[in-house]
Structure 1
Amino acid sequence: MNASTFNEIYSIMEEAFPPSETRTREGQQMLLDHPYYQLLTECDETGKVAGFLAGWDFPSFRFVEHLAVNSQLRGRGMGQKLLTCFMENAGKPIILEVEPATDEITSRRISFYKRLGFHVNAMGYVQPPLREDQPELPLLIMSYPIPLNEEEFAPLRETLYSEVYKLSSMEHVELIG
Structure 2
Amino acid sequence: MYEEAFPEEERRELDLQQQMMRDTNYHFDIVTDNGHFVGFIFWWQFKGLRYIEHLATAIKYRGKAYGKCIVEQFISDAYEAIILEVELPNCDSSKRRIAFYQRLGFILNTQEYYQLPMRKNGVSIEMLLMTYPKEITASQLSVFKENFREMCYAPYFE
TM-score (norm 1): 0.82
SS in structure 2 at match of 1:131: coil
Selected match of 1:67 from 50, 55, 60: 55
Percent identity for Structure 1 against Structure 2: 34
Q: Match for residue 137 of structure 2?
A: 149
Higher strand proportion (structure 1 or 2): 2
Deviates more, 1:121-130 or 1:72-81: 72-81
Deviations 1:118-166 (A, max 9, x none): 0011111110111112221000011000011212211111111221222
SS in structure 2 at match of 1:151: helix
8 Å CA contact 1:64–1:94 kept in 2: the answer is yes
Question: What amino acid does structure 1 have at the position aligned with 2:116?
Answer: P
Residues matched between the structures, number: 157
Write the mapping of 1:125-144 to structure 2, written as runs, cut at 5 A: 125-144=113-132
Q: Match for residue 41 of structure 1?
A: 30
| Consecutive aligned runs of 4 or more in structure 1 exceeding 4 Å deviation | none
Task: Please tell me the root mean square deviation across aligned C-alpha atoms, in Å.
Answer: 1.8
CA distance, structure 1, for counterparts of residue 110 and residue 71 of structure 2: 23
Selected match of 1:108 from 59, 73, 96: 96
Selected match of 1:85 from 66, 73, 92: 73
SS in structure 2 at match of 1:139: strand
Deviates more, 1:100-109 or 1:69-78: 69-78
Displacement, 1:167? 7.2
Q: Match for residue 10 of structure 2?
A: 21
5+ long unaligned stretches in structure 2: none
CA distance, structure 1, for counterparts of residue 114 and residue 138 of structure 2: 13
CA distance, structure 1, for counterparts of residue 115 and residue 38 of structure 2: 26
